[in-house]
């Protein structure tokens, strides 16, 4: 792992992601090395020859001192990295940013694949309406290990439960959904008692990792390759349309609210979570294309 510390002008970037005003990324790169990571496009702005997942730049920025500027706004941790990847334990840049923002009146949402976030539970609780999500797209540890280097699914779920029991809004982020592999209903069944929201996002293949994923499917799940070819080469949306209908029916049977492209609503604690389907949401697609290193 190649690690370097860099100085940047700032870490708060305006964004058009849903329900967020700012995207914050205390690191460039991520040691979780997810095979499907859309953020791998950031590599071309870093001058790193190493493969995505084998380098991390640790950001240092001027102290944030803007009373009133961020009040009522929301910051998303993080759009192109994991704020609680293992290096956070040593460098603490996410915690440093949370401490700088603590009394500004800003709202925060955090997305991670780690349970290191438990270290900051009390700090996160101090923010109004804080939300924390964990990315979980399988309950199969063998498949998970082939796709990322993050902590186990059980550790993610255990962290989710601790935040939920502490009264922090939690989200089970089922993303990316691998057609024919991700058992969405099984994940919801496992997480429905410890989250307020289930957010669904499709596997969206583009860039240099499209070929890698398709080749992995061809080699490891050849029976699914025709389906992936239909979706990712021929542009068929039939699978996602059918899955949308299936999950809508499932939610109705289980007494869960099912929404499309709208995660403004979450379930009260102790109630079944709201399910929000973000398949092909245009804001997410545009944001993924437009994220650039100019945030510094």
Please tell me the distance from the alpha carbon of residue 264 to that of residue 171, in angstroms, as a whole number: 12
Asked if 258 and 251 count as a contact pair (C-beta separation under 8 A), the reply is yes
Domain residues for the domain of 269 are 2-295
Q: What is the pLDDT of residue 92?
A: 98
What is the full per-residue pLDDT of the chain (296 aa) written as tens digits? Answer: 899 999 999 999 998 877 789 999 999 999 999 999 887 777 777 777 888 889 999 999 998 877 788 999 999 999 899 999 999 999 999 999 999 999 899 999 999 999 999 999 999 999 999 999 999 999 999 999 999 999 999 999 999 999 999 999 999 999 999 999 999 999 999 999 999 999 999 998 887 789 999 999 999 999 999 999 999 999 999 999 999 999 999 999 999 999 998 878 899 999 999 999 988 644 333 433 333 333 33
Please tell me the distance from the alpha carbon of residue 262 to that of residue 257, in angstroms, as a whole number: 11
Nearest to 178 by CA among 208, 149, 139, 152: 139
Please tell me the distance from the alpha carbon of residue 69 to that of residue 282, in angstroms, as a whole number: 28
How many domains does the structure of the chain reveal? 1
Q: What is the pLDDT of residue 295?
A: 38
Order across the sheet with 55-60: list the strands. Answer: 2-7, 55-60, 27-28
Q: Rounded to the nearest 5°, which phi and psi values hold at 2?
A: -95, 120
What CATH number corresponds to the domain at position 146?
Answer: 3.20.20
Residue ranges of alpha helices (H) inside the chain are 88-91, 93-101, 121-125, 141-147, 153-165, 184-191, 208-220, 225-232, 238-254, 282-290
Q: What value, to the nearest 5°, has the Cα angle with vertex 73 and ends 106 and 11?
A: 75
Please tell me the distance from the alpha carbon of residue 28 to that of residue 60, in angstroms, as a whole number: 11
């Amino acid at each position: 792992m190649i690690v370097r510390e860099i100085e940047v002008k700032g870490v708060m970037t305006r964004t058009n992601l849903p329900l967020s005003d700012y995207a914050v990324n205390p690191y460039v790169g991520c040691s979780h090395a997810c095979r499907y990571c859309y953020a791998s496009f950031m590599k071309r702005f870093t001058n790193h020859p190493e493969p995505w997942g084998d380098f991390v730049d640790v950001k240092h920025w001027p102290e944030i001192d803007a009373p009133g500027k961020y009040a009522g706004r929301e910051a998303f941790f993080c759009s192109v990295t994991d704020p609680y990847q293992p290096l956070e334990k040593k460098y603490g840049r996410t915690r440093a940013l949370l401490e700088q923002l603590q009394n500004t009146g800003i709202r925060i949402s955090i997305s991670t694949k780690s349970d290191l976030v438990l270290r900051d539970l009390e700090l996160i609780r101090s923010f109004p309406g804080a939300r924390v999500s964990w990315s979980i797209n399988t309950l199969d540890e063998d498949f998970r290990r082939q796709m990322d280097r993050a902590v186990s699914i059980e550790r993610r779920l255990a962290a989710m439960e601790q935040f939920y029991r502490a009264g922090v809004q939690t989200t089970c982020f089922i993303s990316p959904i691998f057609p024919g592999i991700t058992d969405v209903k099984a994940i919801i069944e496992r997480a429905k008692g410890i989250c307020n929201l289930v957010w669904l996002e499709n596997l969206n293949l583009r860039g240099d990792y499209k070929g890698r994923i398709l080749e992995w499917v061809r080699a490891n799940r050849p029976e699914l390759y025709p389906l992936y070819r239909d979706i990712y080469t021929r542009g068929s949306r039939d699978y996602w349309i059918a899955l949308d209908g299936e999950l809508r029916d499932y939610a109705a049977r289980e007494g869960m609210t099912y929404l499309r492209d709208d995660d403004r609503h979450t379930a009260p604690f102790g109630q079944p979570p709201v399910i929000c389907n973000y398949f092909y949401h245009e804001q997410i697609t545009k944001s993924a294309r437009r994220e650039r290193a100019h945030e510094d």
